[in-house]
């Protein structure tokens, strides 16, 4: 019986573990009626996470900061030829998604988003 409790704690900890940030994410959201749809790919080198997000056919370098359960990623953009900075601040939900707010500078607009990690298909060798 002494072994059952530690195993139970380990298994429930694994169930509630947060997904890792590196990988591919699909972002959907809304900023004051304007639909947001992006695909972001994050990589980790040592203790730094970065990557890029693709929006409307353009790729933007992205920085990522993790603060406890909060994930913040920032990248450039443009609207009507004017440069923007989009800041996404999200936390994990029980589905392993990131949900949160979008801040658009210098316009001062805000919105919400959901980010879902994209599973990469594994190729199996049939030889």
The listed range with the strongest mean pLDDT (15-24, 47-56, 117-126) is 47-56
Note the pLDDT of residue 95: 86
User: 9 or 2: which carries more pLDDT confidence?
Assistant: 2
For residue 49, the cross-strand partners are 44, 64
Note the pLDDT of residue 84: 95
Looking at 3.30.428.10, 2.40.128.120, 3.40.50.1370, 3.30.460.80, the CATH number of the domain 19-118 comes to 2.40.128.120
- At 45-85, the pLDDT tens digits run 888 899 999 998 999 999 999 888 899 999 999 988 999 99
Q: What local confidence, expressed as pLDDT, does residue 14 receive? A: 39
In the prediction, which pLDDT does 60 show?
97
Would you state the pLDDT for residue 11?
A: 35
- Domain residue ranges in the chain: 19-118
What pLDDT does 45 receive?
Answer: 87
Higher-pLDDT residue of 33, 67? 33
pTM confidence score: 0.78
Instruction: Report the 3 state secondary structure along the chain.
Output: CCCHHHHHHHHHHHHCCCCCCCEEEEEEEEECCEEEEEEEEEEEECCEEEEEEEECCEEEEEEEEEECCEEEEEEEEEECCEEEEEEEEEEECCCCCEEEEEEEECCCEEEEEEEEEECCCCCCCCC
């Amino acid at each position: 019986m002494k072994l059952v409790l530690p195993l139970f704690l380990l298994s429930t900890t694994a169930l509630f573990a947060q997904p890792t940030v590196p990988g591919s994410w699909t972002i959907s959201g809304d900023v004051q009626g304007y639909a947001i749809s992006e695909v972001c790919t994050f990589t980790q080198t040592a203790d730094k996470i970065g990557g890029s997000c693709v929006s409307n056919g353009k790729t933007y370098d992205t920085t990522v900061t993790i603060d406890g359960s909060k994930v913040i990623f920032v990248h450039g953009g443009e609207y009507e030829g004017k440069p923007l900075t989009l800041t996404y601040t999200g936390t994990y939900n029980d589905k392993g998604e990131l949900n949160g707010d979008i801040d658009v500078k210098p316009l001062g607009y805000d919105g919400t988003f959901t980010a879902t990690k994209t599973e990469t298909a594994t190729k199996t060798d049939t030889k």
